Structure 1
Amino acid sequence: MRKKKVLLTCLTVFFALLFCVSGGVLVKELIQRKIDSNNFDKVTELAGLNINSLDNSDVHMVTEGESVSGDEEQNHTRNIRILKSENEDCIGWIYIEGTRVNYPVMHTPDDPEKYLRRNFYGDYSVSGVPFMDGSHRLTDMHVILYGHNMRNDTMFADIVEYADHYYRDEHPFIEFETEEGCTVYEVFAVAVVDATDDWYFTNPADQPENYAEKIAYIQEKALYDTGIVPEYGQKLITLSTCYGNDDDARLIVVAVERK
């Protein structure tokens, strides 16, 4: 009887400690996420965007052929030069209307994953900051941007929704703005691939044949057909994030520069 009481006491203490530790970890994570959110608010203001107007659920989608007023265009312009003056690793801004994807993009060729767990200011961050593949340059025909699939639906969490073609139909365009201007891309392929898939090493050469071959490769892997076939000379952008419970699985959203 005494042994049972001792065992019960030990188990009670164990689970109490486990609860405290788990609770402490959860609280720490929530605090870190709040810090990350505040930091991105600061960066958003630095970019010249109005935080209070960024409720994407109320954003009007500009469809093909529809004109954009000067005021609307100005609201979608980020001051990349100011961002670069604050942190020279910043090369641009990624934005998908109607989603939470609205972040600066970093690029550090000598330390490709520098911002995997760092915020815009270089401090530790659970969320990190979206960043461009270290082997790529903005002038390349194809660039890849990476971002975390966060449980609080930030960073590239919305990207996984593109597995459903209805989501793609509602959010077909991706804006990537740099110092050179803002380029609009249209999503033409969504696929689930391995982290070492050949697509991550794809940079279409100057030859039309190679370009067409790469396009055919990703369309064959695509989860559904969008009916869009990129033509030689159009630049490509890929957004990549973790997917599912497989550590090596990635969901990629591939878009082509609009003509």
Structure 2
Amino acid sequence: MRSKRKISLLLAASLLAAVTVLSGWMIYDELSSRQKEKEDFDALAELVEMPVTNPPITSEPPPAETAEPGEATEPEEPLRDLSPLFEQNSECIGWLCIPNTAVNYPVMHTPRNPQKYLRMNFYGEYSQSGVPFLDYRCSVDSGNLLIYGHNMKNGTMFGELKNYTDPAFCADHPIIEFQTADGLLHYTVSKVKITDTSDKWYEDISGELFEENRCLVLSTCYGGGNGRLLIIATEIQ
């Protein structure tokens, strides 16, 4: 009797050890995957990093700028060089950035396969984080742009967007940048809305809902189930 009990205890202990090892391996594998995804995006961000526009060091004083009377001169804003991304993946249409946040990613667009990048990385491999992508009903020339991204628990992708429910965060991060082959557009956050996919308003956000303004809408999961958080930003003319 004692012998059987001892064997049962040994089997239970072995099973617990196996489960512990398996759980530890799964956690390690997931963390490794998350780290690799972050490193891949960091590499892409470095590839398109905005150039530094510091003037060359010289002992001579800089020449005075001249302009015609009544003509205003403004320095051109530096742009990211997106051509390496377009060459590597033709489904990349631009770059999305919210300064001083983790939102700094390429944006994909596949109208014939709308959710292709939901679980796929920039290089076409499986990815839990995916890549932000433009709604299939939109194009880069649309008046309104709707971009989806995952609400990742580690704060990557659109994980930081939930902070916009705090007015202080919204006030500190009002600008969203979206650059395409046509240039760089700036948007200012005008509304933060919590809704769900059953709301007809949600279905219409890529259409004429904002016809009076050109808007950029960032959409991510919120609160579980079909809940959605929308960050609505109006183009700065």
The TM-score range, normalised by the shorter chain, is 0.7 to 0.9
Question: 2:204 is matched with which residue: 184, 201, 206?
Answer: 201
Question: Percent identical across equivalent pairs?
Answer: 40
- 1:49 is displaced (CA, Å) by 4.2
Question: 1:84 is matched with which residue: 86, 94, 118?
Answer: 86
Equivalent residue number for residue 122 of structure 1: 124
DSSP 3-state at the match of 1:115: helix
Equivalent residue number for residue 61 of structure 1: none
DSSP 3-state at the match of 1:28: helix
- 1:25 is displaced (CA, Å) by 0.9
Q: Tell me, which stretches of 5 or more residues in structure 1 are unaligned?
A: 51-68, 206-213, 216-230
- 1:254 is displaced (CA, Å) by 0.8
CA distance in 1, matches of 2:5, 2:50: 64
Superposed CA offset, 1:1-22 (max 9, x none):
6355444333322322221111
CA distance in 2, matches of 1:200, 1:47: 33
Higher helix share: 1
- 1:154 is displaced (CA, Å) by 0.8
Pair 1:172-2:174 in alignment: yes
- 1:187 is displaced (CA, Å) by 0.9
What one-letter code is carried by the residue in structure 1 that aligns with 2:205?
Answer: T
What one-letter code is carried by the residue in structure 2 that aligns with 1:42?
Answer: A
Equivalent residue number for residue 115 of structure 2: 113
Aligned-residue CA RMSD (Å):
2.1
DSSP 3-state at the match of 2:225: coil
CA distance in 1, matches of 2:197, 2:120: 21
Superposed CA offset, 1:62-119 (max 9, x none):
xxxxxxx959x32xx2122331111100001110011110111000111111111111
CA distance in 1, matches of 2:88, 2:75: 27
Question: 2:158 is matched with which residue: 156, 159, 165?
Answer: 156
DSSP 3-state at the match of 1:36: helix
Equivalent residue number for residue 258 of structure 1: 236
Equivalent residue number for residue 13 of structure 1: 14
What one-letter code is carried by the residue in structure 2 that aligns with 1:148?
Answer: H
Equivalent residue number for residue 58 of structure 2: none
DSSP 3-state at the match of 2:147: strand
Equivalent residue number for residue 225 of structure 1: none
Equivalent residue number for residue 235 of structure 1: 214
Q: How many residues align?
A: 213
CA distance in 1, matches of 2:181, 2:198: 31
- 1:41 is displaced (CA, Å) by 2.3
Is contact 1:238-1:255 (8 Å) kept?
A: yes
CA distance in 2, matches of 1:127, 1:235: 28
CA distance in 2, matches of 1:168, 1:193: 18
CA distance in 2, matches of 1:16, 1:49: 51
- Equivalent residue runs for 1:46-57 within 5 Å: 46-49=47-50
Is contact 1:144-1:200 (8 Å) kept?
A: no
CA distance in 2, matches of 1:126, 1:203: 25
CA distance in 2, matches of 1:7, 1:127: 42
CA distance in 1, matches of 2:181, 2:117: 20
Equivalent residue number for residue 42 of structure 2: 41
Question: 1:95 is matched with which residue: 94, 97, 103?
Answer: 97
DSSP 3-state at the match of 2:118: coil
